[in-house]
Amino acid sequence: MDVAAIRREFPILRERIPGRDGKDHALRFFDHAASTHAPEPVVRALVDFLTTSYANVHRGAHHLSERATDRFEHARERVKSFVGAPSDREAVFVMNTTQALSLASHVACSLHDGPVLSTRLEHHSNLLPHASHGSRGEVQFSEASPWYGRVEMIRVTEEGRIDLERLEERLRQRPKPRLLALSCASNVTGVKTPIKEVLEHAQDARVPVLLDGAQILAHEKLDFSRLPGGGPDYFAAAGHKAYAPLGSAALVAKRSLLDQAPPWMPGGGTVKLVLDEEILWADSPDRHEGGTPNVPGAVAFAAALDFLERVGMEEAERREMRLFAKLLRGLSEIPEVRMLGPHTAKERVGVVSFSLGRWSPAAMATALNAEHGVAVRHGCFCAHPYLMELLGVHAGPFIEEIRRGGSTSAPGVPGAVRASLGVYNDDADVEALLDAVRALAARKPDSGYAWKGDQETWVPIPAQA
């Protein structure tokens, strides 16, 4: 499937973006690392379920309940097959990657003692759930050994990659980690984790592994059956980063681990029997899926994975890497641009974060949208320790302002702009982004925009008559 055919599948690309000059612009969407759009096949699957199969699942003898249950359980199997999960793995549906990571942390911290080992590269969602299982009081992160906090973070290299040598060394030391929690790819730089090597080291040390797959699921074909030990013990990913609607995600994990842990969210559907003196909990996945699940979201998630396979994951990856190399090359040729992380596309997914001279990241993102129809993300991307290290700054100068309720989008607050590629981006999109950045680079920082503190946003300054 060529990129023109892929683009025709996405209704959102027919939208025009109103510009501050009064003209409409074509949408140039570079925010796929935050959330992706649904193509027509996914929209049709969702509408079809809502109009022909809508009912609650499990324990219903009527036709619609049985049909809904069949489609829900098919979606579960589809998620497992898409990542090549072995037969001893189960998929538990949740709302988003954060919940999937939290569920994995709940299970691991219920079964084992010791610190959670992670890195400074992680999204907050793969740090904070583990810290919350510590003793009461302030959350503590530690880079020291032995462990002083609930989460021990391995540093990254100068270009922002995981220090694999230090990670291997720490896995052999005491106290033994209860869990190794890593991202498959950074949401800030796109740097990929060497999954095979990490699994080998962790399995040698008998440490369970949790992989945050949010930034890899739609970018690279995964096959757990080809990885050491049948892949990670826990794998978390969300449909909304893989061309499904918001609100559906899954944790794929070893069934034996899920069945040993107490229910993550006890309630309807998580039990076999409730007596006055005893509760018989259900086996997984029901054990951890309390209440009515997002059945339409699961059905749409499965349809999105079908779409990705029809597109061709390997061909899509090759096309993304060609565009990504073009984007990095173009940014590197703009003197005012500072890219964070590696400057090559090697061992990365299509995500790049950068700054532009003294432009505020929020002002730059506002200008890119208002003047060029270019959609990017700005800020610290829920990865404060990693971004501060890449920027070489410390939170000290502005932390008190944030404590007083100040905004992270305000002038002078460190951050960056992030551009992330998706399956339908093409050369015209990349050229439009580069032209837009060049145009801003030729102007005074933040020119044409003013910070409105009461609204916590940047707004265009009206042109003088």
> Which residue type occupies 383?
A
Catalytic residues: 382
Are 236 and 251 in contact, with CB atoms under 8 Å apart? yes
Q: Residue 144 has what pLDDT?
A: 42
CA 170 to chain centre: 26
Per DSSP, the three-state class of 1 is coil
**If you compute the radius of gyration of the chain from its CA atoms, what whole number of angstroms results?**
23
Are 298 and 248 in contact, with CB atoms under 8 Å apart? yes
> Which residue type occupies 309?
E
Q: Residue 141 has what pLDDT?
A: 55
CA torsion through residues 125, 126, 128, 130, sign: positive
| Nearest Cα residue to 383 out of 415, 425, 350 | 415
Are 365 and 183 in contact, with CB atoms under 8 Å apart? no
Q: Residue 136 has what pLDDT?
A: 41
What's the CA gap between 304 and 113, in Å, rounded? Answer: 38
Instruction: Please state the pTM of the whole predicted model.
Output: 0.94
CA torsion through residues 359, 362, 367, 369, sign: positive
Q: Residue 171 has what pLDDT?
A: 96
Digits of tens for pLDDT over the chain (465 positions)? Answer: 799 999 999 999 999 999 998 899 999 999 999 999 999 999 999 999 999 999 999 988 999 999 999 999 999 999 999 999 999 999 999 999 999 999 999 999 888 888 899 999 999 999 988 886 644 434 455 544 333 347 889 999 999 999 999 999 999 999 899 999 999 999 999 999 999 999 999 999 999 999 999 999 999 999 999 999 999 999 999 999 999 999 999 999 999 999 999 999 999 999 999 999 899 999 999 999 999 999 999 999 999 999 999 999 999 999 999 999 999 999 999 999 999 999 999 999 999 999 999 999 999 999 999 999 999 999 999 999 999 999 988 776 677 777 778 788 888 888 999 999 999 999 999 999 999 999 999 999 999 999 998 888 999 998 754
Distances (CA, A) of 49 to 54, 279, 291, 305, 452: 6, 34, 20, 16, 44
Conformation bin of residue 447: beta by default, left when phi > 0, alpha when psi is -120 to 50: beta
Q: Residue 133 has what pLDDT?
A: 61
Q: Residue 329 has what pLDDT?
A: 98
Q: Residue 309 has what pLDDT?
A: 97
**Burial of 52 by CB count in 10 Å (0-12 exposed, 13-18 middle, 19+ buried)?**
exposed
CA torsion through residues 200, 202, 203, 208, sign: negative
**Domains within the chain, CATH numbers bracketed:** 3-30+313-460 (3.90.1150.10), 43-309 (3.40.640.10)
